[in-house]
Amino acid sequence: MTVEIYGPDSQPLPSGLRQAARMQAARNRQMAATVSGETVTRAAYQGASYDHPSFAGWRAGNYSGQSALSQSRSTLVDRLNDVARNDGWGAAGTSRLVDNIIGAGWKLAARPNHTSLNLTFDQVEEVASQIEGLWRDYTQDVDMWCDAERTKNMAGILGLAARTRFGPEGESFGVIVWQDDAPLFQTAVHMIDPARCSNPKGTLDTEYLRDGVAIDGYGAPVGYHFRKSHPGDVYAGNTQFWSWEYVSRATEWGRPIVVHAFDPKRPGMTRGASDWAPIMRSIKQSTDYEDFESQAAMLNAIMAAFIETPFDPEEMMNALDADGGEGTIGKIYGEISEAQKAYYGAAPINLPGVRVNTLLPGEKAELTKPEHPNANFEVFVNAALRKVASAVGLTYEQLTMDWSQVNYSSARAALLEIWRGFTTKKSSFAAQFMAPIYRAWLEEIFDKGLIKLPEGAVSFEENPAAWCHADWIGPGRGWIDPLKEAQAAGERLDRRLTTLQQESAEQGRDWKMDADQLAREARYYERLGLKHPSTFEGSRPARKGGRQNSDVDPDTEPENNVNGHSEKSARASRHPLGIPQTGRQKR
């Protein structure tokens, strides 16, 4: 007897498909095992099995990066924003990230590609200086025309964008607008709350519309749907609450309009997920635990003692074999309470700051034994904070501002490791957020003829990418031991292992601006007939064999703490009572 199997198209299944089904069934039989009389399937990887107790109830859905985010984004962001508003660690973590990545703002170091612009390196440097000067005028304008809201300069715009990008939302939006009434530069940035980007009228995602982002066949964004009002702005007369506006990603000639910065966690994502999302549970549990411990400690402090009384009306009635009728027990309780109140208030013993009461005969006071905060409270909270710090790219010390357990070696290692993460975040954010704004502004200044170009130079319209090359100098890396690290920088420069530009940028400085300032200072000293400090004898330590002369063997030099002072040498140079011995003769 032949059994024919038909598919959903009412046609017999192909022979190849039937063969594949037989092979899969055979594999399933090989993997099957009997556990407690029930047949279960053993997976080749234990992590994919369901027979292990740890995985028995674990049913993880199969989501794409964007579908998982679209289903959960609203609730997730609302909860993370609540953490940022009400939890000290959440607010502190975002602030530390913004401080380390943005700081007081970024300086532009224009780097047009001279090889593709038909210019020499010196010609490009001259043009770059013009661009940098105009950029300072644009971004540091006291009237703040670079901001469409006229409340921030470019440093403020960057800080706000970074706060949403590295905070609860995990992304930042901006729209580059054109302001005709601006006095010099018409390009301005209007910051958009990420919650305003959504599908019109709350419709479901489609093939070319994902969570407010219109995409093409490759998934590249071509436009964005922005709600004209924040979904939380519920007030009388809000006519824009159910209105959306479509904004193209760029103009037809390539000028950026919408700036969208986020870190896609998986291919195909059109919106950003916050780095804080995986640690929400730890933050919530840690916060709840802190609240419970605080409440328990307060109760212990308030409820210091309890009075136990031997009076029991029910036992007394039973002993007398009396039946007082309905309400008798309640009446007795009331009389006892009145008697206690009168007795306690009759003759109290008052001492300064203390009140001592006598008890009724037979009563005794039971004092509570405070057991909060729990002995493991700090250990638990610190463990949770280390997880939080690691997830968002900070050290435990940066998040908590607790430097009590840090020495020179650990601080140095942490700084090097964390700095790589900050550099990566800064580079990605610069490429996604700052670069499009810079490109739009460059187009304007070239179009207005504010830049003097050498003869034969390639125009901006012909090759905008080559003109847009730039470095962004952010906050300095900082020094743990300034003397040692300055000496190390000098060694690298002497051995041609680095450049003055790179060393200055790591400390948040522009080497050209520093050189101009040094030249100005030298001319000023010369005009006054004074010697510049750099020419003083002994102003620079002599070097021997590439190192500063020292009687201390560098291989045996004691470990320093975070402020750069040698702990062992400091102790050795002092009397046990703390009196310095430096310069004193031994007797």
Residues 271, 266: Cα–Cα separation, whole Å: 11
pLDDT of residue 248: 96
pLDDT of residue 412: 76
pLDDT of residue 236: 73
10-residue stretch averages of pLDDT, the chain, 587 residues long: 70 79 71 52 74 78 86 90 88 91 92 93 93 95 95 95 94 96 95 95 92 95 95 82 93 95 93 91 86 77 60 59 62 71 64 55 61 75 88 87 80 80 92 96 95 92 95 82 80 84 78 80 82 64 47 43 45 48 44
* Spatial contact of 249 and 173, defined as CB atoms under 8 Å apart: no
Residues 170, 73: Cα–Cα separation, whole Å: 10
pLDDT of residue 552: 43
pLDDT of residue 479: 72
pLDDT of residue 500: 82
CA-nearest of 377, 392, 436, 463 to 173 is 436
Joined tokens for residue 323 = 């039946």
What's the distance, CA 568 to chain centroid?
37
Complete DSSP assignment for 179-230: -TT-SS--EEEEEE-GGGB--GGGPPPBTTEETTEEE-TTS-EEEEEEESS-
